[in-house]
Amino acid sequence: MSTTSAIREKNGVRQTQERPHRRGLSRKHREWIAGYLFLAPDLLGLLVFLAAPMIISLGLGFFEVDGFGNFSFVGLNNYQLMFSDQQFLTSLRVTLTYVFLVVPGIFITGLLLALLVKQKIPFVGILRSMFFIPNVVSLVVVGFVWKFMLADNIGLLSQLVQSLGLGVISWLGDPRFALGTVLCVVIWFSMGYNMIIFLAGLQEIPREYYEAANIDGAGAWTAFWNITWPLLRPTSFFVLLTLLVTSVSGQGGFDLIYVMTKGGPANSTSLGIFYIYQQAFLFGRYGYAAAMASFLVAVMLVATIILFAVTKGGRFDFD
Amino acid sequence: MISTNMRSRSEYLRPKRLIVFLITLVLALLTIFPLLWMISAAFKGPTETSSNNLIPLAPTFANFTYVFTQVPFLTYMLNSFLVAVSVTVIALLFHSMAAYALSWLRFPGRDVIFLGIFSTFLVSLPIILVPLFILVKTLGLLNSYGGLIIPAIFNAFGIFLLRQFYITIPKELGEAAVLDGCSLWQVYWHLILPLSRPIMSALAVFFFLANWNSFLWPLTITSDQNLWMVQLGIASFQQQYSSSWNYIMAASTVAALPTLLLFFFFQRQLVESIKSSGIK
């Protein structure tokens, strides 16, 4: 008892000696102020350039904006227009097809590559890098490279297909193939990035589990479904969530579509975000574009809620 | 007994391992092939562009000379460099300050603020493109470096990663510094920043690449050609020279070269930053 008070007194003396109460603020309050000051620049920026536009976006859909920046309230007009706009409905269908194919496509290729490069094989570091490289190149460049390889008659891939006797297939010019072609490029671009995330998840799984399974005579297939898949759930959830958010909003997809197809042929690759961009910046229909963006946000929220419900927040507990 | 068992098993696996290696190698070569094809075409003359050989028969620099003399490609690259470096430096400073506050300092509302920042993960540029454009236009930042740089700075990703890292630094270090009379700013500047060099360099590579490669935002707010960034430059170049693939591939190679170089020199940092984003 006496020793603790002595220490406290000593500390108190030391404190008053070295740091007299400069601004009449206690240490606790100064920490409060410092905390807010340290946060201020980023918090302000996030509020102004992310949160505010998000909220404005939801409200802007109820307005008509003309070229001079005058807003006029039009109620639900934009939303009614949306569902009678054939081109919007097409772009919605394209977006949903894109999401339903690109999410599992990237998920599976990323996971398979991670399982491959997790093995003890020679030059594994270099092989991992090779799978990742497409991801550091911009999507604009990626779009051109593939467009060049697929170009009718002169492109390497179209020549290859022709030499196989399959005739001339216009990969980007035929409405039946264009979206599929763009999808393959997106998967090629993104698989390496997701491979790294999966690899990090796989390396978290203790090796003893596999050794135990091996001693019990379990094959690779059994080991995958009983050890890898259940223990990889947090990583799988993270990957699925980010893929859903990016694919519904069309992040990245926009660049490729802009460069490779411009939404065509016959609107077969007109992703939601691409149509929104056209309406806003080619035709100046900001209100209408914002209404459609809000609709995409709603789709994204529904998809996220379904993902959370199915996986119970990333735990995938079906039993 | 155990060791002999292990040895026989690893020998049993050897041919299987070789097969796995060969499959992986073929897939990896197929993966990088399009990029090799791009570089190859950049060195081919106009008559050779549609040929099927990977190594150009008559390699030439003419395509590069053409690209740099016909369009202000150097300006585009300087713009990209300026924007990417500015965003990276400012973002690292702001994000690390915010992460320091969120991990080391105690103040009311801290957890709510963190949750709020975390939730902006779901907001992506395409979704807010129209209102962000109107906002930036209202601020008078259309066709300006400010308009290219400022909105690109703010994202939750960097704050989140840095906070995860700062939590692992022992708090006793900071307490000792405060007892020695350091201000909280000095703790941040002289203790936290030097300690976070590895994660900062990883994020720096990540931010630089993202901004060098960004297309949608520059496309939306810059119509002045003097402010075009490199991706925008090659996109419009392609519209002019749509069938001259040798020129387009040369321009693409030049635009991709800095990112490829950055990858070769900093791949460990880059991979680390992606890895840590996946682990909670």
pTM for the predicted model, two decimal places: 0.87
Q: For residue A30, what is the enclosing H or E element? A: helix A27-46
A264-306, pLDDT tens digit by residue?
Answer: 788 899 999 999 999 999 988 888 999 999 999 888 889 888 8
| Residue ranges covered by each domain of chain A | 2-60, 78-311
User: Distance (Å) from the C-alpha of residue B34 to the closest C-alpha of chain A?
Assistant: 7
Q: Taken in order A316, A308, A187, B88, is the CA torsion positive or negative?
A: negative
pLDDT at A4: 42
User: Distance (Å) from the C-alpha of residue B105 to the closest C-alpha of chain A?
Assistant: 6
pLDDT at B169: 87
Which domains are delineated in chain B?
2-63 (no CATH), 72-278 (1.10.3720.10)
Buried b / exposed e along A213-228 (16+ C-beta atoms within 10 A) = beeeebeeeebeeebb
pLDDT at A24: 65
Is the CB of B25 less than 8 angstroms away from the CB of A48? no
* DSSP label at residue B280: -
Task: List B residues 104-163 in contact with A (Cβ-Cβ < 8 A).
Answer: 105-108, 110, 113, 116-117, 120-135, 137-138, 150-151, 153-156, 159
Q: Which of B10, B29, B129, B280 to mutate to test the interface with A (most CBs of A within 10 A)?
A: B129
In whole angstroms, how large is the CA radius of gyration of chain B? 24
Class of domain A78-311: mainly alpha
Is the CB of B259 less than 8 angstroms away from the CB of A51? no
A38 Cβ under 8 Å from any chain B Cβ: yes
User: Distance (Å) from the C-alpha of residue B35 to the closest C-alpha of chain A?
Assistant: 7
The amino acid at A138: S
pLDDT of chain B along its 280 residues, tens only? Answer: 344 444 445 544 578 788 889 999 999 999 999 999 999 999 998 888 878 888 888 888 989 999 899 889 999 999 999 999 999 999 999 999 999 999 999 999 999 999 999 888 888 888 899 999 999 998 999 999 999 999 999 999 889 889 988 988 888 888 888 888 888 898 999 999 999 888 898 889 989 999 999 999 999 999 998 999 999 999 988 888 877 899 999 999 999 999 999 999 888 877 877 777 765 4
Burial of A211 (0-12, 13-18, 19+ CB in 10 A): exposed
Question: Mapped to the 3 state alphabet, what secondary structure does B207-266 carry?
Answer: HHHHHHCCCHHHHHHCCCHHHCCHHHHHHHHHHHCCCCHHHHHHHHHHHHHHHHHHHHHH
Is the CB of B150 less than 8 angstroms away from the CB of A46? no
Is the CB of B97 less than 8 angstroms away from the CB of A42? yes
**Predicted ipTM beyond 0.90:** no
Buried b / exposed e along B236-245 (16+ C-beta atoms within 10 A) = ebbeebeebb
Measured torsion, CA atoms of residues A144, A150, A151, A157, in degrees rounded to the nearest 10: 130
B186-198, pLDDT tens digit by residue?
Answer: 899 999 999 988 8
Asked if A312 and A233 count as a contact pair (C-beta separation under 8 A), the reply is no
Is the CB of B107 less than 8 angstroms away from the CB of A277? no
Q: For residue A307, what is the enclosing H or E element? A: helix A286-311
Tokens representing B82? Answer: 């300026």
**What's the CA gap between A282 and A289, in Å, rounded?**
11
pLDDT of chain A along its 319 residues, tens only? Answer: 344 444 444 444 444 444 544 556 787 888 889 999 999 999 999 999 999 999 888 888 888 877 666 788 887 888 888 899 999 999 999 999 999 999 999 999 999 999 999 988 888 889 999 999 999 999 999 999 999 999 887 888 888 888 888 777 888 888 899 999 999 999 999 999 999 999 989 988 998 888 888 888 888 888 899 899 999 988 898 899 889 989 998 888 899 999 999 887 888 999 999 999 999 999 888 889 999 999 998 888 898 888 888 877 655 444 3
User: Distance (Å) from the C-alpha of residue B197 to the closest C-alpha of chain A?
Assistant: 19
**What's the CA gap between A275 and A263, in Å, rounded?**
8
